[in-house]
Amino acid sequence: MRIDILTLFPEMFESPFGSSIIKRAQEKKLVKINLVNLRDFALDRHRQADDYPYGGGAGMVLKADIVIRAIQALRSPECKVVYLTPQGKVLNQALVKKMAAWAHLILLCGHYEGIDERCQTVIDEEISIGDYVLTGGEIPAMVVTDAVVRLVPGVLGSDEAHTEESFGSGLLEYPQYTRPRVVSGLEVPPVLVSGDHQAVRRWRKKMSLKRTLLKRPDLLLQREFDPEERELLEEILFSREGQDEG
């Protein structure tokens, strides 16, 4: 997978992409991330990439001629150009899965008041990471890159599976426990040390359902349930639960 990130501040990406999983994915050539400075496409000797807004008003606007020139230089037949903006579709795991299937992604990072509207001629998708305003599109581009790259086959090792994680199944993830067995007098739920894999699988599915019901009931509204999940939901809703239910 190829990811080109168009930004005025390529240095912001060095540390997030310089360690752990994203770094390893690049070393294993599973993903190629290019940090591209928008200023490199400015033709004037001051390499000016932004200017005052026509019609007046505060802040600066990224110049369309530079953005368009940059994207025309980078794009390929199979690429998708994504502009990070609060006006975009709000990112979720379903959208991340869709993007992870693309061979070539160009992420355009806005700054200041945003970009000249005529850049829309070279933009395929607008994506927002949430309904709040940031200083620039750089951190959203990091979020998108991290979420997408970890779904690229081979990036996550076996011990980092993404199958049973939150939103993978449309439910929140079940509680995790590790050594030591007792912490602050709190025991690990016995089922998890029972060796009964079926019972563990069922307990984890029940906990995912229960947590989703308690923390994100909205996620349950858009979801089908298999017979076992129906049974577990009835148990949760209609029977008294013991403490070790986690």
**Which listed residue (31, 36, 70, 128) binds ligand 4FV by CB under 6 A?**
128
**Of 149 and 171, which has the nearer Cβ to ligand 4FV?**
149
Q: Does 9 bind ligand 4FV (CB under 6 A)?
A: no
Residues 159-218 that bind ligand 4FV (CB under 6 A): none
- Residue 166 to residues 92, 106, 170, Cα–Cα distance (Å): 11, 27, 7
149 token code pair? 């790259």
Cβ pair 125, 85 in contact under 8 A: no
**Token reading at 133:** 């305003």
The interface region with ligand 4FV, picked from 2-10, 111-119, 156-164, 213-221 by CB under 6 A, is: 111-119
DSSP assignment, residue 169? Answer: S
Listed residue (183, 12, 171, 201) closest to 107, CA to CA? 12
Task: Report the nearest approach of ligand 4FV to the CB of residue 79 (Å).
Answer: 20
Choose which of 43, 94, 133, 182 interacts with ligand 4FV (CB under 6 A): 133
Distance, CA of 225 to CA of 168 (rounded, Å):
15
Output the smallest distance, CB 157 to ligand 4FV, in A. Answer: 30
Binding mask 74-103 for ligand 4FV (x = CB under 6 A): ----------xxx-----------------
The footprint of ligand 4FV on this chain (CB under 6 A) covers a number of residues equal to 16
Could you tell me the smallest distance in angstroms from the CB atom of residue 62 to ligand 4FV?
8
CA dihedral sign, ordered 146, 147, 153, 155? positive
147 half-sphere exposure, CB direction, 13 A CA radius:
20
- Contact at 8 Å (CB) between 105 and 82? yes
To ligand 4FV, the closest distance from the beta carbon of 120 in angstroms equals: 15
Residues that bind ligand 4FV (CB under 6 A): 84-86, 110-112, 114, 128-130, 132-134, 136-137, 140
